[in-house]
Amino acid sequence: MQGVFYRASAKAKALDLGVKGWVTNESDGSVLIEAEGTKDKIIDLIDWCKAGPKHARVDEVRKEEVGVKHYKGFEIRH
């Protein structure tokens, strides 16, 4: 969901939760997040993603487990 500060809001939420990783816009208009943290914190981030920031329209949230990368922080990738 581009144009509603989804990436910046996702980063702020991740940092608030202590989750590490990254967020980026995809060419099809979707947003991709790769995140690491405790199970509870990841569930909280996924729940936030289902609504997103004010004015966001979220049609679908998909999740997939990937290997641990040991991210040091959370960044917005372009």
What is the total count of domains within the chain? 1
Which of the residues are catalytic? 7, 25
* Cα 20 to chain centroid, rounded: 10
Q: Report residue 69 as tokens.
A: 């990368």
Task: State how far the Cα of 78 lies from the Cα of 69, in Å rounded to an integer.
Answer: 19
pLDDT value at position 29? 87
Render each residue's pLDDT in the chain as its tens digit; 78 residues.
455 699 999 999 999 999 999 999 999 989 999 999 999 999 999 999 999 998 899 999 999 999 999 999 999 999
The reply to whether 1 falls in a domain is no
**Predicted pLDDT of residue 1:** 44
Domain range enclosing 13: 6-77
21 contacts: CB under 8 Å, gap ≥ 6: 14, 33, 34, 35, 36, 69, 71, 74
Instruction: Work out the number of other CB atoms within 10 angstroms of the CB of residue 33.
Output: 21
Supply the pLDDT for residue 69. Answer: 96
CATH code assigned at 25: 3.30.70.100
